[in-house]
RNA sequence: GGUCCUAUCGUCUAGCCUGGCCAAGGACGUUGGGCUUUCAUCCCAAAAACCCGGGUUCGAAUCCCGGUAGGACCGCCA
């Protein structure tokens, strides 16, 4: 077995090793982000490695989805399955010969051995140990039996271990409590603990930054490193992302797939900003960070130790901030997907105006559909009672609408500011005639806005009128008048 | 059950290492108010937390010990 002891290079090299058994989740994406941030900040390399040793559960389409969503988020790697590097290949299924070599070495040195215990038998023993209240661990039955087939087990050395975690400080374990672990089903089928250790070594990974769920796996991996004469990478275990009930955010819990947020109209900048604050904080009062600002400010030392509950309201807020920051042209481009088919009948300029008019009401891009639907409809459907402001009766609603109708007729071109000036005066006049409080413009403006939008809540009437133009505006008011 | 980890407003967190500047700061959310024809944006304000118990000390959110609670792991998954 190759015994060249690699000295840890000065170069910072980190990796994100997803297993393609499902979509990329927020938890994984956050881990990828922290690795990326750390690498970029230190002018190091960020490697994407696909851990597809589980042939049954791994699927090519998941590999693609993980790649697509990571890229969408703006997390890019220096080496990976789609970008060759000198440490490739970057899919474990293509590195079988490498693992086999190390496996054979471990076997000949008697640091690993074949085990022929049947899974059912193992399970039964596990249950029995559990019921007796002892730690379930493999009893070493097949050790030193000289079997030449079966699964390959790694001999766990009984010793105390310690390592320094970058976010948690010194961690100590007693490996004597661990049972011999299966590291491969056979020479051609390595398992996680073994493969990850071999790859991190072969790929000269300097820092292993991963979720806390791996903290208790670390001693096994350190033992494996020692058995093969590898250097030990520096570890940093990130706090878990939790469900509202504080349980670990699992792959099955709800729609935590990055692709779901993507489809629903969350912006990558918002997701990245939000994820960065799940377990990390700059220590200042700045809350909105771009990727490049994060690269500058990020620090593992400021990473929280306790788990963080995923708070969707905060994501929504952050998303809104980024939406409002977009230029009209960019926002329109992003929203196109969520607009009705016939949006193509409208000019780009008009569409931009429509989006601008509803921008502050959007939490996510998909909201644009409902927010703007009335601009595209030929005929508005709404309850005529909606037209009444406060205590207005039908007769007054009609008068109010007719007043607006005639005022609109006097304009050639509809420009929000011009309309506003005249209508505000008109509203005062109307109130004076009707004996309403002068400042309560709703008597004139509310029925008008409802006539133009058909909605309880919407953009103001003058912006709508400007976008609709004279013909449609007049037509909508007329049909409101006909309603009452 | 064992091992390991964690513990500040409902949530994300600052402060903790280097005790006093903390009658604990910010943000989301909530509530109230302002602006306003509505909703949203924006602005202002309020309510809201140091898990518990000991100890060390003139003084503890901060240090120590013990509880308690939560979580992760204990796979021929990763």
Q: How far is the CA of A299 from the C1' of B56 (A)?
A: 33
Q: Is any atom of strand B within 7 angstroms of residue A446's beta carbon?
A: yes
* Cα distance between residue A479 and residue A282, in whole Å: 56
pLDDT at A474: 95
Q: Is any atom of strand B within 7 angstroms of residue A127's beta carbon?
A: no
Question: What are the tens digits of pLDDT across the range A427-466?
Answer: 999 999 999 999 999 999 999 999 999 999 999 999 999 9
- The DSSP annotation for A225-244 comes to HHHHTPPPPEEEEEPPEE-T
Question: What are the tens digits of pLDDT across the range A348-360?
Answer: 999 999 999 999 9
Q: Is any atom of strand B within 7 angstroms of residue A439's beta carbon?
A: yes
Residue A109: helix, strand or coil by DSSP?
coil
Closest CA to A314 of A244, A260, A263: A244
Confidence of residue A344 (pLDDT cuts 50, 70, 90): confident
Q: Is any atom of strand B within 7 angstroms of residue A161's beta carbon?
A: no
Q: Is any atom of strand B within 7 angstroms of residue A110's beta carbon?
A: no
Mark A124-145 as b/e (b = at least 16 C-beta within 10 Å).
ebeeeeeeeeeeebbeeebeee
Question: Which nucleotides in chain B have some atom under 7 angstroms from a protein Cβ?
Answer: 1-8, 10-15, 25-29, 36-42, 70-78
pLDDT at A255: 56
* Cα distance between residue A137 and residue A420, in whole Å: 78
pLDDT at A319: 98
The nucleotide whose C1' lies nearest the CA of A363 is B40
Q: How far is the CA of A441 from the C1' of B33 (A)?
A: 21
Q: Which of A77-91, A136-150, A180-194, A250-264 has the lowest mean pLDDT?
A: A250-264
pLDDT at A106: 96
Q: How far is the CA of A294 from the C1' of B4 (A)?
A: 31
Quick check: is A359 catalytic?
no
Q: How far is the CA of A279 from the C1' of B56 (A)?
A: 32
Residue A189: helix, strand or coil by DSSP?
strand
pLDDT exceeding 90 applies to what percent of chain A? Answer: 81
Q: Is any atom of strand B within 7 angstroms of residue A8's beta carbon?
A: no
Residues 60-89 of A with CB under 7 A from strand B: none
Q: How far is the CA of A360 from the C1' of B42 (A)?
A: 10
pLDDT exceeding 70 applies to what percent of chain A? Answer: 97
Max alpha carbon distance in chain A (Å)?
105
Confidence of residue A9 (pLDDT cuts 50, 70, 90): low
Nearest residue (CA) to C1' of B25: A285
Residue A250 has pLDDT above 80, yes or no: no
Residue A115 has pLDDT above 60, yes or no: yes
Nearest residue (CA) to C1' of B71: A247
Q: Is any atom of strand B within 7 angstroms of residue A242's beta carbon?
A: yes
* Cα distance between residue A153 and residue A137, in whole Å: 13
Q: Is any atom of strand B within 7 angstroms of residue A102's beta carbon?
A: no
Average pLDDT over residues A95-116: 95
* Cα distance between residue A419 and residue A443, in whole Å: 16
Average pLDDT over residues A83-109: 95
Q: Is any atom of strand B within 7 angstroms of residue A214's beta carbon?
A: yes
Question: What are the tens digits of pLDDT across the range A282-310?
Answer: 999 999 999 999 999 999 999 999 999 99
Confidence of residue A269 (pLDDT cuts 50, 70, 90): very high
Confidence of residue A253 (pLDDT cuts 50, 70, 90): very low
Asked if residues A278 and A30 have their Cβ atoms less than 8 Å apart, the reply is: yes
The nucleotide whose C1' lies nearest the CA of A453 is B38
DSSP 8-class letter at A319: H
Q: Which of A11, A71, A251, A263 is catalytic?
A: A251
| Bond prior to A89 in cis (omega within 30° of 0) | yes
Q: Is any atom of strand B within 7 angstroms of residue A117's beta carbon?
A: yes
pLDDT at A151: 94
* Cα distance between residue A382 and residue A187, in whole Å: 70
């Amino acid at each position: 077995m190759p015994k060249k002891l690699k000295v840890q290079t000065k170069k910072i090299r980190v990796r994100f090793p997803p297993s393609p058994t499902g979509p990329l989740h927020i938890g994984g994406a956050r881990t990828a982000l922290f690795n990326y941030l750390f690498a970029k900040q230190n002018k190091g390399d960020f490697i994407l490695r696909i851990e597809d040793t589980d042939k049954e559960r791994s699927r090519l389409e998941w590999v693609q989805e993980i790649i697509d969503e990571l890229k969408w988020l703006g997390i890019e790697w220096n080496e990976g399955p789609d970008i060759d590097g000198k440490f490739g290949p970057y899919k474990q299924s293509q590195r079988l010969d490498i693992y086999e070599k190390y496996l054979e070495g471990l076997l000949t040195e008697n640091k690993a051995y074949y085990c022929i215990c049947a899974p059912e038998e193992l399970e039964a023993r596990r249950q029995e140990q559990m019921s007796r209240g002892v730690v379930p661990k493999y009893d070493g039955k097949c050790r030193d039996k000289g079997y030449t087939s079966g699964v390959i087990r790694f001999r766990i050395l009984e010793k105390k271990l310690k390592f320094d975690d970058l976010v948690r400080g010194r961690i100590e374990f007693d490996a004597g409590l661990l049972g011999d672990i299966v590291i491969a089903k056979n020479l051609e089928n390595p398992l996680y603990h073994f493969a990850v250790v071999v790859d991190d070594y072969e790929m000269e990974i300097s820092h292993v930054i991963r979720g806390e769920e791996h903290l208790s796996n670390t001693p096994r991996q350190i033992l494996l490193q020692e058995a093969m004469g590898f250097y030990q990478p520096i570890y940093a275990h990130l706090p878990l992302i939790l469900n509202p009930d504080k349980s670990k955010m699992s792959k099955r819990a709800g729609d935590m797939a990055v692709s779901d947020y993507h489809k629903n109209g969350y912006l990558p900048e918002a997701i990245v900003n939000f994820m960065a604050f799940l377990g990390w904080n700059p220590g200042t009062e700045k809350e909105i960070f771009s990727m490049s600002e994060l690269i500058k400010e990020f620090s593992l030392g400021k990473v929280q130790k306790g788990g963080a509950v995923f708070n969707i309201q905060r994501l929504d807020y952050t998303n809104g901030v980024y939406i409002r920051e977009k230029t009209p042209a960019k926002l329109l481009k992003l929203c196109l997907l969520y607009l009705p088919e016939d949006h193509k009948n409208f000019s780009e300029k008009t569409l931009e105006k429509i989006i601008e008019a509803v921008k502050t009401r959007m939490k996510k891009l998909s909201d644009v559909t409902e927010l703007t639907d009335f601009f595209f409809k030929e005929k508005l459907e709404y309850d005529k009672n909606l037209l009444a402001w406060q205590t207005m009766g039908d007769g007054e609603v009609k008068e109010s609408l007719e007043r607006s109708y005639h005022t609109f007729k006097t304009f050639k071109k509809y420009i929000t500011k011009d309309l506003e000036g005249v209508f505000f005066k008109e509203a005062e006049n109307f109130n004076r005639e009707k004996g309403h409080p002068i400042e309560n413009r709703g008597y004139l403006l509310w029925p008008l806005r409802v006539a133009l939008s058909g909605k309880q809540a919407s953009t103001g009437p003058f912006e709508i009128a400007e976008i609709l133009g004279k013909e449609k505006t007049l037509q909508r008011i007329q049909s409101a008048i006909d309603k009452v």
